[in-house]
A and B are shown apart, each in its own frame.
Chain A
Amino acid sequence: MADGMSPEQARAALDRAAQVSRRVESRARSMKAYSLVNAAAWAVSILAFGFIESIPVRLVVWLALLVLPLVGVVSWYRRQPVTAVSPPRPRGGWVIYSWTMMVVYAIAVIVGQVADLYGEPLYWVPAAVVVAAPLTILALRLPRA
């Protein structure tokens, strides 16, 4: 079969393959939206932690800000018919960026609590920016939403 393949047939096969590839790739959704929603949710949740004085209200808002966006974006992502190729290097990018964010988050919360910085924007606003940074960087490295 291959013995009879002419340059024209090879070109036609290449064209068909490229066309199909492009069509499916254009439908692919990466983890860009997933990463950005989570980055924003974690950043806002640390602000809630730092600015809401009432402990029960703070816990409810804090949990809602972490859980609801995550459930929403996971559900959206799972419904996508095509998913883009995994995050860029470092390999396992999503896991590494997520763990970095969680470690930064934990440090920010502990420092804020130990140093009694509740309601202090000069601490919590930069902390929120730093917490959001890892997943925002991941999102910016991904090719498309």
Chain B
Amino acid sequence: MTGNHPRHELDELLMHPVRLSVVAALAGVERAEFALVRDTVEVTDPMLSKQVALLEGAGYVGVHKGRVGRRTRTWLGLTADGREAYGRHLAALRAIAGDAFTA
């Protein structure tokens, strides 16, 4: 079903609170370490891995592994598509939040 209500602009993938938080965490930065995102979003490693895999599959998040000294680190960053999707999703949320009419 399509229509003019802003809810139609919401991104289904970002309706999940953890995925929205992950994308929000990455929105204002170039890249962030997996562990920092995990602690900020307050989820477990497997939970974050699962949600990041979904976002990566959709082309919203890029995952890069690198070594710093002897440690391997995983970096997460939003792709251009991810930034665009997040922007659209936020705009739809703002429209709903400011919309007196509820469907």
Q: A residues engaging B (CB < 8 A)?
A: 1-3, 5-7, 10-11, 13-14, 16-18, 20-25, 27-28, 78-79, 81-86
Contacts and interface: CB of A to CB of B under 8 A. Distances in A.
B43 to A, nearest CB: 12
Nearest to B93: A10
Given A7-B96, A13-B93, A17-B90, A24 B29 contact: yes
B28 A21 contact: yes
B37 A24 contact: yes
A24 B28 contact: yes
B26 A13 contact: no
Contacts of A2: 7-8, 10, 12, 15
Interface in B5-63: 7-8, 10, 12, 15, 17, 20-21, 23-33, 35-37, 40-41
Contacts, number: 94
Which label, helix, strand, loop or mixed, suits the secondary structure of the B interface?
helix
B13 to A, nearest CB: 11
A24 B25 contact: yes
Interface residues of B, number: 36
28 contacts: A1-B12, A1-B15, A3-B103, A6-B102, A7-B96, A7-B98, A7-B99, A7-B100, A7-B102, A10-B97, A13-B17, A14-B90, A17-B24, A18-B24, A20-B21, A20-B24, A21-B28, A22-B28, A23-B25, A23-B40, A24-B32, A24-B37, A25-B28, A27-B36, A81-B32, A83-B32, A85-B29, A85-B30
B90 A20 contact: no
A9 to B, nearest CB: 8
A23 B41 CA distance: 10
